[in-house]
Amino acid sequence: MSRPRRLVVSATLLLAAVAGTALLSLASKKSKYLPGQMDDQKRAMHALNRLTFGPRPGDVQRMMAMGVDKWIDLQLHPDRIDDKALDARLAQFRTLRMNTHELVEDFPPPQVIKAVMEGKEPLPSDPVKRAIYQAQIERLEQKQERKQEIAVANASAPNPAAANGADAAPAGAAPPPENQNRMSDEQLAQRREDRLYASLKTEELLNLPPDQRLKEVLKLSPEDQRALAASLKGPKADQFLEGMSPKDRETVIALNNPEQVINEELMQAKLLRTIYSDRQFEEVMTDFWFNHFNVFLNKGPDRYFVTSYERDVIRPHALGKFEDLLVATAKSPAMLFYLDNWLSVGPNSQVALGVPRYPVRPHRRYPPVAAQHGKGKGKRASSGLNENYGRELMELHTLGVNGGYSQHDVTEVARVFTGWTIEDPRKGGAFKYDDRMHDPGEKMVLGHRIKYSGEKEGMQVLHLLAHNPATAHFVCNKIAMRFVSDTPPPALVDRMAQTFLKKDGDIREVLKTMFKSPEFWSDQAYRAKVKTPLEFVVSSVRATNADVTDAMPLVRQLANMGMPLYGMQPPTGYSMLAGSWVNSSALLGRMNFSLALMSGRMKGVQVDAGQLVPAAAANAAAQPSDSQQTLAQLEATLLAGDISAQTHDAIVRRLDDPQVTQRKLDDPARPPNVPMIAGLILGSPEFQRR
Amino acid sequence: MAITRRVFLRNSALAVVGTTALPGFLARAAYGAAEPGSTNKRLVVLFQRGAADGLNIVVPHHEPAYYALRPTINIPRNKVLDLDGFFGLHPSLASFQPLWNQRQLAIVHAAGSPDPTRSHFDAQDYMESGTPGVKATDDGWLNRAAHTLPPSDEKSAFRAISMGPALPRILTGAEPAVAINNIRDFGVAGGNPKAAPIANTFEAMYDQSVDTVLHGTGKETFDAVKMLKSADPAKYTPARGADYPRGRFGDSLKQLAQLIKANLGVQIAFADIGGWDHHVNEGSTQGQIANVLQDFSQSISAFWIDLGELAEDTVVVTMSEFGRTARENGNRGTDHGHANVMFVLGGPVKGGKVYGRWPGLDPSQLYEGRDLALTTDFRCVLGEAVNRHLGNRDLTAVFPGFDNRANNFLGILG
């Protein structure tokens, strides 16, 4: 770089710096708030950072025009906010509007397929549904055949050693147990052939208009249908499905894997909601409560229960009374299955004691037999108390691990909830209270005597827990951790807990206490939280006004970043703390995501980088100073100017790098590389915070 | 490879046969040069998250109470892979048998944390912080172990690594540690040389950031990226015979082996495997526990074969937050328990033996009348590994509040 140019750059830098500071000082009015409190613009930004999944271009200005307090009040009443634009985006996902029973019927799980195979249930008459069922039947038949072949192979293999444990000598090498996932060479060859045929057929079908493809697919044999559906992956799948109606698309995917349809629609909907809903705060609270009352999507039938769980249990109660939310989760098939309560049986219940369901003619020589472990056909074949829900209800949902309960309380609570079960869980049934599973007698929970009263006992315990001061404190602390900082001020949490107890667990009231508190608006809270992967990805998409046409690539990104949607296996839910998400893998993942997003390499997401810097686009004759201007504009748009001198300088130093400016030696007329600069900002330390 | 360094040196007083026939480390020893591994003793910690059922993993098949307590989910005597007449391995652990026979695998039974909690969350927290019962500890014992190691000449960015998308509690602390989810993605823009200026810009940003949290991690990250690039792990094939099973755990160990073999100075490593919380339908010789044990043992034995001669300097320890109830529950599963089993695998391990005092499964011998009682504190096992293998002399820093004297060690490492 020649000397004069360097001088120009330094001068420009200086000017820009001075201009920048001048702008900032002009913008901040004399604060009408206490020292250590934020000014108006900061308040707007802070509110957006905390109550939404990230500001979009123009949000700060819009909010300042409306007034921050008014905006917060509006967000606290989501029913007053019109969300038609989001609804339009979600219209294509039919499963979102179906109840669990319908989901099971249209996208049958293995248990339903088995029932049909065994003749216990009829095949549906609707040709499309029928095709899905037949494809799955064929798949199950193949699986059973393979299992039989392996069993036969095992039977003829030499017996493993150590037949007699009393032998002192250590056993010699035993043959490894047959790996049930490994296929024979013959099967592998068959698989390859199937795949070849499937890809040829796909090519053929691509020549047809999209609305005719499904019809042709349905003409194939169930085996070929499934092979074709299974072979559709990645760009091939996108190509094949493009232009098809939502129902057709779902059918094609269901031919291979019915559950996949439900899960993918659920995950895509979640991302689209967090990105595009105008009821942003409601989405934030829905996410918060789902995490608090965590359910793991991939635990068996939960794959079918979670859609309704989020839609009918979590979201409607997200801003209501805590007890209502608690009861709704306690009765939800999703939670009952996830924490095993559906098969918990009281030790002295009728089921455990073998009391027959219907009166039997008494026989002198037929004494009642205590129930043994039933024949393992799944379902209600147990006679044991399961403490899982009892423990997590207190440890994770209400009192917290230090909330003052004992192991005895856990067992007693488990007894209280025996009988809270699901009608036919593997067929998508609803909550059912079964008194035959319920443990009779009195229970002692946290010093309270719970008289025997069937289902009412559970309601009583939930009421107790929902109004316990430990619960108030535990829940308010979690809320404060999400919205204020990783280590929320105890005084604030105390005041929130008081509101919780005084206002009957009214979540909205607790939130109001928090939003009106000086702690929430203190300078220390500004950008104090590190974004989780979800918050990072969504805020990037929102900050750049990107258009998401296919959310699945983003879903996969989140899985790579360690936060698969609905994918938290233990009931503790995802962490909200910085330490959990700041590590090398995560940081690299975020930097790479930022670059990919801005350079158009994130599939399914389109970013119009030009509209982020409107003035630059109009300026055809690019000058060296335009990169600086672009940078300043992007800093304002994406970060509201909250960029550190260090980050700013690091980017400025690169602005003359040809790679960044897209400028070649003799070609001074190229515009600044907006995507690259924006990518650098999204990957910067500042953007990782909210 | 049946010949170990100790056997060789014992039997042949450094007679040099012909260097081409010797495995590398022996050749180096014979020539008197310092082995590359001498300051690179490696400790690998594997965490079975979810409370693995120790009683069905290393089965006390000679204990009659075992069969009485588990009528439907026991491992029958004729299916168990016998170890010493009293204990036997679950049949899915067949790939551990050669390691046992070669005396590289040792077992500690009835080991674990003395804290009475049966909460997964708390118990894992205590095991990772290394201070059972104390919630205020904010770093992990493995990080402290790394931090108090004798200083070595080159402090590699890969000295302490964790396989997975998040840095676990056990490795949080003052010592820089790197979380690696996928080696291929570990770099900016896939290591594409055209992206170098951008990578450099990011590096400068994080290097100079006043955000302490992000600055620290950022710096470690870029150091690690640069080191990895210079080692060029582009095309990696595991050693012959190292057949990793498909799945997250096998993949983690494969990548770990790759990093170790790339000579990046890996000294401390961590990986975890979930899927052990079998409250319902645990299964016995088949079923849930059998499947996860197969994944577990085949991944570890593939890792061991893959390491080749580097196994000589490596010690692997497995742990789980607690065991499970001695008695099966009403759902053909088990609930949260207390003591558990730990595996210790390594070149210097005195294997082929089950260590620790077996408390018995009689009702009067059970902890709180329901669980396997604890006779060996997990810190005793880990302390021995950290002290005898890594050469860390400051165990009170690694396990504060625990009396970890050398004469209390079980003698697993000689």
Q: Considering only residues A187 and B61, tell me which one the structure prediction assigns the higher pLDDT.
A: B61
pLDDT at site B34 = 34
CB–CB contact B205 A651 (8 Å): yes
* Percentage, residues of chain A above pLDDT 70: 82
The C-alpha atoms of residue A397 and residue A401 are separated, in whole angstroms, by 10
Phi, psi of B389 (to 5 degrees): -95, -50
pLDDT of residue A23 exceeding 60: no
Q: Which of A12-16, A353-357, B31-35, B57-61 has the lowest mean pLDDT?
A: B31-35
User: How confident is the model over A112-118, as a mean pLDDT?
Assistant: 90
Instruction: Report residue B204 as tokens.
Output: 């400068």
Question: Can you tell me the distance from the alpha carbon of A557 to that of A589, in angstroms, rounded to the nearest whole number?
Answer: 9
Question: Max CA-CA distance within chain A?
Answer: 112
Q: What is the DSSP letter of B367?
A: B
Among residues B247, B286, B248, the alpha carbon closest in space to that of B90 is found at B286
Place of tokens 């158009």: A600
- A631 vs B contacts (CB less than 8 Å): none
Residue contact B205–A161, C-beta within 8 A: no
Of B61, B198, B209, the CB nearest to A647: B209
**One-letter amino acid identity for A54?**
G
Residues A641 and A635: beta-carbon distance below 8 Å: yes
Token pair in block for residue A501: 């107890």
Does residue A553 register a pLDDT over 50?
A: yes
Q: Which residues pair with B376 in a beta bridge?
A: B111
Q: How far is CA B18 from CA A246, B8, B29, B273, in A?
A: 71, 14, 13, 43
* pLDDT higher than 70, residue A454: yes
Q: How far is CA A410 from CA A297, A446, B52, B348, in A?
A: 25, 10, 22, 45
d(CA B236, CA A218): 43
Give the relative orientation of helices A258-276 and A246-256 as an angle to the nearest 10 degrees: 130
Which residues in chain A are closer than 8 Å to B118, comparing Cβ atoms?
Answer: 391, 407
> In the 8-state DSSP scheme, what is residue B387?
I
pLDDT grade, residue A360 (50/70/90)? low
Contact residues, A window 586-645, toward B, CB-based 8 Å cutoff: 586-589, 591-592, 595, 644
Closest CA–CA distance from residue B14 to any residue of chain A (Å): 32
Q: Are A136 and A109 in contact (CB under 8 A)?
A: no
CA distance B411 to B388: 10
Residues 61-80, chain A: which have Cβ within 8 Å of B?
A: none
Spatial distance between the Cα atoms of B75 and A458, rounded to a whole number of angstroms: 38
Q: Which of A676, A605, A665 is CA-nearest to residue B194?
A: A676
Mean pLDDT, chain A, integer: 84
* Cα distances (angstroms) measured from residue A563 to each of A173, A287, A555: 42, 13, 9
Q: Confidence class of residue A222 from pLDDT cuts 50, 70 and 90?
A: confident
**Could you tell me where the DSSP H helices lie in A242-311?**
246-256, 258-276, 280-292, 302-308
Residue in this structure with the two tokens 């001020």, named with its chain if needed: A489
User: Is A488 part of the contact surface with chain B (CB cutoff 8 Å)?
Assistant: no
Taking contacts as CB-CB distances below 8 angstroms, the residues of chain B near A647 are 205, 209
- Minimum CA–CA partner of B293 in chain A: A177
Per-residue pLDDT, B10: 34
Answer with the residue of higher pLDDT: B402 or A235.
B402
Q: Which of A385, A487, A563, A588 has the highest number of chain B CBs within 10 A, making it the mutation to test binding with B?
A: A588
Query: Longest Cα pair distance anywhere in chain B, in angstroms?
Result: 69
Residue B100 Cα, gap to closest chain A Cα (Å): 9
pLDDT of residue A500: 97
Residue A608: is its pLDDT beyond 60? yes
Lowest mean per-residue pLDDT among A124-138, A321-335, A434-448, A531-545: A124-138
Counting Cα atoms < 13 Å in the Cβ hemisphere of A169 gives: 5
Name residue, tokens 């203190």.
Answer: A522
Tell me whether residues A592 and B201 touch, CB distance under 8 A: no
Paired residues of B345 in beta bridges: B105, B316
Looking at CA atoms only, how far is residue A647 from chain B in angstroms? 5
State residue A60's pLDDT score: 92
- Residues facing B154 on adjacent strands: none
Contact: A170, B101; criterion CB under 8 Å: yes
Q: How far apart are CA A159 and CA B79, in angstroms?
A: 9
Task: Report the sign of the C-alpha dihedral through residues A78, A80, A86, A91, in that order.
Answer: positive
Taking each helix axis from N to C end, the angle separating A533-543 and A258-276, rounded to the nearest 10 degrees, works out to 60
**Residue B79 C-alpha, separation from nearest chain A C-alpha, in angstroms:** 7
What is the residue-level pLDDT of chain B in tens, covering all 414 positions?
Answer: 333 333 333 333 333 333 333 333 333 333 333 334 445 799 999 999 999 999 999 999 999 999 999 999 999 999 999 999 999 999 999 999 999 999 999 999 999 999 988 888 889 989 999 999 887 787 899 999 998 776 666 667 888 999 988 888 899 888 888 888 888 778 887 667 777 788 888 888 888 887 887 888 888 888 888 888 776 666 678 899 999 999 999 999 999 999 998 888 899 999 999 999 888 889 999 999 999 999 999 999 999 999 999 999 999 999 999 999 999 988 889 999 999 999 999 999 999 999 999 999 999 999 999 999 999 999 999 999 999 999 888 899 999 999 888 888 999 997
pLDDT at B189: 76
Partner residues linked to A421 by β-bridges? A432
A156: CB partners within 8 A, 6+ apart: none
Kindly list the residues from chain A whose CB atom is less than 8 angstroms away from the CB atom of residue B78: 162-165
Contact A166 B50 (CB under 8 A): no
Residues of chain B neighbouring A383 (CB-CB closer than 8 A) = 330
Nearest Cβ partner of B121 from A163, A171, A572?
A572
Extract the runs of DSSP E, i.e. beta strands, from A544-604. 547-548
Q: Quick one: tokens of A466?
A: 């929902």
Q: pLDDT for A238-282, tens place per residue?
A: 788 888 888 898 999 898 899 999 999 999 999 999 999 999 999
Exposed e or buried b for every residue in B294-332, given b needs 16+ CB within 10 A? Answer: bbbbbbbbbbbbbbbbbbbbbbbbbbbbbbbbbbbbbbb
* Lookup: tokens for A420: 């809270």
Is some CB atom of chain B closer than 8 A to the CB atom of A560?
A: yes
Q: How far apart are CA A633 and CA A643, in angstroms?
A: 12
The DSSP code for B82 is E
For residue B214, give the nearest of A160, A660, A685 by CB distance: A685
C-alpha B337/C-alpha B359 separation (Å) is: 15
Collapsing DSSP to helix, strand or coil, B154 comes out as coil
Q: What span, in angstroms and rounded, lies between the C-alpha atoms of A407 and B117?
A: 9
Mean pLDDT (whole number) for A349-360: 83
Tell me B371's DSSP state. Answer: B
Question: How many angstroms from the chain centroid is the CA of residue A654?
Answer: 37
Closest listed residue to residue A535, CA positions, set A325, A673, A682, A374: A682
Query: How far apart are the CA of B276 and the nearest CA of chain A, in angstroms?
Result: 11
Residue A382: the pLDDT is 45
Q: Is the ipTM of this complex over 0.90?
A: no
Q: How confident is the model at residue A7 (pLDDT cuts 50, 70, 90)?
A: low
Please indicate whether residue A645 or residue B211 has the higher confidence score (pLDDT).
A645
Q: Hey, are the CB atoms on A165 and B61 less than 8 Å from each other?
A: yes
- Kindly identify which residue of chain A lies nearest to residue B204, measuring between CA atoms: A650
DSSP result, B179-236:
EES-GGG-SGGGG-GGGHHHHHHHHHHHHH-S-HHHHHHHHHHHHHHHHHHHH--SS-
**What single-letter DSSP state applies at residue B363?**
G
Whole-angstrom CA distances from A111 to A107, A120, A142, B366 are 12, 11, 16, 39
Q: Residue B325 forms beta bridges with which residues? A: B371
Nearest residue on chain B to A561, alpha-carbon basis: B165
Look at residue B296 and give its three-state secondary structure. helix
- DSSP per position, B7-54: HHHHHHTT----GGGS-HHHHHHHTTPPPTTTT--EEEEEEETT---H
> Rounded to an integer, what distance in angstroms lies between the CA atom of residue A312 and that of residue A430?
12
Q: What is the pLDDT of residue B198?
A: 85
What is the distance between the alpha carbons of residues A216 and B291, in angstroms, rounded to a whole number? 40
Number of CB pairs, chain A paired with chain B, less than 8 A apart: 220
Report which DSSP code applies to A689.
Answer: B
pLDDT digits (tens, 9 = 90+) for A384-415: 888 889 989 999 999 998 999 998 999 999 99
φ and ψ of A575, to 5 deg:
-70, 150
Q: What is the DSSP letter of A176?
A: P
- pLDDT of res. B352: 96
A400 touching B, CB under 8 A? no
Chain-chain contact of B100 with A584 (C-beta, under 8 angstroms) = no
Locate the chain A residue with the closest alpha carbon to B169. A580
Stronger pLDDT, A115 or A512, i.e. the higher one = A512
Mean local confidence (pLDDT), A559-566: 87
Is B285:B91 a contact under the CB 8 Å cutoff?
yes
> For an interface test with A, which of B170, B202, B244, B322 has the most A Cβ atoms less than 10 Å from its Cβ?
B202
Q: What is the pLDDT of residues A676-690, one digit of tens each?
A: 899 999 999 999 999
Question: How far does the CA of residue B316 sit from the closest CA of chain A (Å)?
Answer: 22
Query: Do residues A133 and A113 make contact, with C-beta atoms less than 8 angstroms apart?
Result: yes
Rounded-to-integer distance, Cα A365 and Cα A311, Å:
54
Which of A173-187, A196-210, A213-227, B53-67 is modeled with the greatest confidence?
Answer: B53-67
Are B121 and A574 spatial neighbours (Cβ–Cβ below 8 Å)? Answer: no
The count of other CB atoms within 10 Å of the CB of residue A583 is: 27
CB contact under 8 A, B217 and A583: yes
CB atoms within 10 A of CB A192: 10
Which pLDDT value is given to residue A246?
86
What's the gap in Å between the CA of A252 and the closest CA on chain B? 27
Residue predicted with more confidence, A168 or A507: A507
| Residue A355 reports pLDDT greater than 90 | no
- CB–CB of A631/A651 below 8 Å? yes
